[in-house]
Amino acid sequence: MNVFITGGCGFIGSHLAERLLARGDRVLVLDDLSTGRIDNIAHLIGMPRFDYRIGSALDLPLVTELVDRCDVTVHLAAAVGVRLIVERPVHTIETNVRATETVLAAAAKKQKLVVVASTSEVYGKSTQIPFREDQDLQLGPTSHSRWAYACSKALDEWLALAYAAEKDVPVIVVRFFNTVGPRQTGRYGMVLPNFAQQALANAPITVYGSGEQARCFGHVNDAVEALLRLIEKKEALREVFNIGSTEEISILGLAERVREAAGSTSEIRRIPYSEAYAAGFEDMMRRVPDVSKLERVTGFRPRTPLSQIIADVVTDQRSRMEGGSAGDWRLPASARSA
């Protein structure tokens, strides 16, 4: 199988590329390196069946050429991270919506399969736990840039399903829930690598808000496995799937477990949202996926325990710090709850 990955130098994209090559597929990666890193695919460059382009998913002629060369496109390119979303809402909206439209328009020419990456953020302020793919979405007011990302990704989903209905493009939509693991950077507010960096430096671990807000963290290897299984299933076409762990933990509890795993003496410091974000910032208290649909269609559900996930992230961050590969390592001023 020939697979085209937009955002392929990113965290999830690089793991997906690695896994595809290992099983014998051909992989073509596109990334503009705005949030992705060439280091993430450095070990793949020069391998048979792997190619990459530095460029934008907004470039229709380029994207059309690359989509045409492959059997399936996995569209991961997007503006990511709470910090980036809050500080650059125009960039967030334009990047997410226009890039998805570009990929779908290219795929429509020859009805090529597209997997569109979405996010648990689309559930917004819903308190209907666990989140099911067919439930109503509940976003905050347009006056709060916090919801720009969620809105843009929801529009991506509607756009994908509209292309499926009107232009017969085979599409699959996946909603990732806090996917974490090796290679993830804390640069854009990703909470687990930030906590690990702070703990390993014996610096204060900064928890924003009360710390009682809870999340489910899924291993990137499980996310990749889910993607690969969905691509093979005709039943997945024109459907939306949650991908994530169902093991829930509070952000304060996560900070404590990271500190323990790192053997750290860090204090845990709670800081009000008002000191981190613009006035009126809102967060969700819980975000738990229902993954029964994923399991029903693919026979798979993410099961990597949080203890293993934390250990993998701490090991990865320790390696970065000790190896000085710090295009990635810099002690962040804060760690936000994603």
- Local confidence pLDDT in tens for the 338 residues of the chain: 999 999 999 999 999 999 999 999 999 999 999 889 999 999 999 999 999 999 999 999 999 999 999 999 999 998 776 666 667 778 778 889 999 999 999 999 999 999 999 999 999 999 999 999 999 999 988 888 778 888 999 999 999 999 999 999 999 999 999 999 999 987 766 899 999 999 999 999 999 989 999 999 999 999 999 999 999 999 999 999 999 999 999 999 999 999 999 999 999 999 987 676 655 567 789 999 999 999 999 999 999 999 999 999 999 999 989 875 433 333 333 333 33
Query: According to the CATH classification, is domain 2-179+218-243 in 3.40.50.720?
Result: yes
Unique residue bearing structure tokens 């810099």: 330
Indicate which residues carry an active-site annotation: 149
pLDDT at 189: 66
* Contact by Cβ (8 Å): 302, 219: yes
- Residue 146 carries which DSSP code? G
Q: Which amino acid is at 289?
A: P
Confirm if 211 and 255 have CB atoms less than 8 A apart: yes
What's the rounded Cα separation, in Å, for the pair 50 and 25?
9
Q: What is the CATH number of domain 181-216+247-286+304-323?
A: 3.90.25.10
Other Cβ atoms within 10 Å of 134 Cβ, number = 7
How buried is residue 291: exposed, middle or buried, by Cβ count under 10 Å (0-12/13-18/19+)? buried
C-alpha span between 255 and 199 (Å, rounded): 9
In angstroms, the Cα distances linking 265 to 79, 126, 150, 165, 270 are 34, 37, 36, 56, 16
Short-list 116, 92, 86, 133, CA closest to 5: 116
Neighbours of 333 (CB within 10 A): 8
Q: What's the confidence (pLDDT) of residue 92?
A: 79
d(CA 312, CA 219): 9
What pLDDT shows up at residue 335? 33
For residues 61 and 334, what is the distance between their CA atoms, to the nearest angstrom?
Answer: 40
Burial class (CB in 10 A: 0-12, 13-18, 19+), 258: buried
Please state, in angstroms and rounded to a whole number, the distance separating the CA atoms of residues 197 and 321. 8
The DSSP element (H or E) to which 163 belongs, if any, is helix 148-167
pLDDT at site 281: 66
Model pTM score: 0.92
pLDDT reported for residue 328: 39
Instruction: Choose among 295, 309, 106: nearest CA to 195.
Output: 309
Say how far apart CA 336 and CA 338 lie, in whole Å. 6
Q: Which helix (H) or strand (E) holds 220?
A: helix 220-231
pLDDT at position 332 is 34
Contacts with 170 (C-beta within 8 Å, 6 or more apart), sequence order: 111, 112, 113, 114, 164, 237, 238
Give strand pairing partners of 216. 248
Return the domain boundaries, the chain.
2-179+218-243, 181-216+247-286+304-323
What are the backbone angles phi and psi of residue 50, rounded to the nearest 5°?
A: -125, 135
